[in-house]
Chains A and B, each alone.
Chain A
Amino acid sequence: MAASENKTVPAEQGFVYWPLIAGWLVPGAGHFLLRKWGRGALLALAIVGMFVLGIAMQGELYTSASDILHVLGLAGDLGNGLLYFVSRFAGIGANAVQVTTADYGTRFIVVAGLLNVIAAVDAHNLKTGRKPL
């Protein structure tokens, strides 16, 4: 018990939210900040890959919060951080689902955002010592 408690003591103080913010903005960046290169690369590959696959399937990027489903979809999409904003400004992504695979693509994009949030929180936990480095 004592050994596991020692592991979770924060190694550094200061502003501990940089990995969380960086990880949200750029998938894997939170782990890169903590010099977890392998984990960061795998997370980036998985999340960016999922987002790109969603776009390639003509998935829809949620742009409005007109009803509850759109609110939830928008919340998921926002988890992608800069990927979402850059895609919005570049006009990438379908405005409406028109083929079957586009529906899958829309889900891929939303889930990529949610996974990115999980990854960013994991980086934050590593930083604070809640999870052993």
Chain B
Amino acid sequence: MFSPSHFTAVLLFALCASVVFGITQRETPRRMMRYGLYCFALFVGSVVVLSWVMYLIAR
């Protein structure tokens, strides 16, 4: 059984989703790559920000 940490699960999810978003939502390889990286950064960045928000709310 594979038991990743929360953050590892986020990274894996973001990686797979970003690859599909990049390929399907843009037309040229260069733009696909840039959009995929953009989606990945947004996924991971939003998780980090929301995690801090929840941490501060819970205090």
Interface of B is mostly: helix
Residues on B with C-beta less than 8 A from A43 are 19-20, 23-24
Chain B residue numbers with a CB within 8 Å of A111 are 13, 17
Whether B16 lies near A112 (C-beta < 8 A) is yes
B-contact 0/1 string along A49-76, CB 8 Å cutoff: 1100100111000000000000000000
**Cβ distance B5 to chain A, nearest Cβ, rounded Å:** 9
List, in ascending order, chain B residues with CB within 8 A of A121's CB: 24
Complex alpha-carbon distance, A79 and B19, angstroms: 17
Closest CB in chain A relative to B29 CB, distance in Å: 8
State the interface size on chain A (CB cutoff 8 A): 26
- A78 within 8 Å of B (CB atoms): no
Q: How many positions in chain B have a CB within 8 Å of any CB in the partner chain?
A: 16
- A88 close to chain B: CB less than 8 A: no
For residue A112, which residue of chain B has the nearest CB?
Answer: B16
A118–B24 contact, CB under 8 A? yes
| B47 CB–A CB distance under 8 Å | no
The smallest beta-carbon distance between B48 and chain A, in angstroms, is 18
The CA of A107 and the CA of B13, in the complex, are separated in Å by 10
A120 to B1, CA, bound (A): 30
Residues of B within 8 A of A53 (CB): 2, 12, 16
Task: Select A115's contact among B1, B2, B16, B27, beta carbons within 8 Å.
Answer: B16
Give which listed residue, A39, A101, A122, A132, contacts B2 with CB less than 8 A: A101
| Nearest B residue (CB) for A7 | B27
Q: How far is it, in angstroms, between the C-alpha of A119 and the C-alpha of B23 when the chains are bound?
A: 8
**Per-residue B-contact encoding for A94-118, CB less than 8 Å = 1, 0 else:** 0000010100100110011001001
A interface list, Cβ under 8 A from B: 39, 42-43, 45-47, 49-50, 53, 56-58, 99, 101, 104, 107-108, 111-112, 115, 118-119, 121-122, 131-132
